[in-house]
Amino acid sequence: MRRCLIRLGLLIGLVVLAGACSRAATTPRPTVPAALPGTSWTLGVQAGTAPAAQGLPTIAFGTDGTVSGWGGCTNYSGSFSVTGSSISITQLTKQSSSATCAPETESDETEFLAGLGGATSWQTGSTDDVTAPGEEALAPVKLVLTGSETQYFTLD
């Protein structure tokens, strides 16, 4: 009887272990991109605060050196270049739009685009590597643009 209980205990332990291993294998963490071209991001934190939930700003780095996205009121585009961990985002222009924005949203967009234009360095990493001061984890993978202000993005 005692042997049966031991075998039953071992069997249950193996089943639990196999279940835990199979779950870990089916939910891989997103990988951190090694380069910016071909990636798209959503703004999570800017200058220490989360942006308004309405129309979160985005940024997409094209493989041709272009950058584009949603600023919160309108679409924008420009150019970027990367050398190591240095970045330059230039020629940012807003697309014309017939939509009207609330003054605070327009102000947030202006601040966002100024932050992009002032970016001098970039870093990607897991949440453990690049977390904004006092923030909860937004996503497993992040992009940080640092310059005139620091902006934290989550991978789309």
Q: What is the pLDDT of residues 116-135, one digit of tens each?
A: 999 999 998 775 555 555 55
Segment 15-43, tens digit of pLDDT: 444 555 544 445 555 577 778 999 999 88
Average pLDDT on 48-73 reads 83
Q: Is residue 34 part of a domain?
A: no
Dihedral of alpha carbons 87, 90, 96, 101, sign: positive
Q: Is residue 94 part of a domain?
A: yes
Same domain, 137 and 78: yes
Q: Is residue 21 part of a domain?
A: yes
Same domain, 66 and 100: yes
| pLDDT exceeds 70 at position 61 | yes
Same domain, 84 and 61: yes
Q: Give the CATH number of the domain where residue 135 resides.
A: 2.40.128.270
Q: For the whole prediction, is pTM greater than 0.75?
A: no
Same domain, 78 and 103: yes
Q: Is residue 90 part of a domain?
A: yes
Q: Is residue 24 part of a domain?
A: yes
Number of domains within the chain: 2
Cα separation, 48 vs 152, in Å, equals 9
Q: Is residue 92 part of a domain?
A: yes
Q: Is residue 9 part of a domain?
A: yes
Same domain, 1 and 65: no
Same domain, 52 and 104: yes
Domain carrying residue 43: 39-155
3-state SS class at 18? helix
Same domain, 6 and 52: no
Same domain, 148 and 73: yes
User: DSSP H helical segments within the chain, as ranges?
Assistant: 2-26, 103-117
Cα separation, 116 vs 97, in Å, equals 20
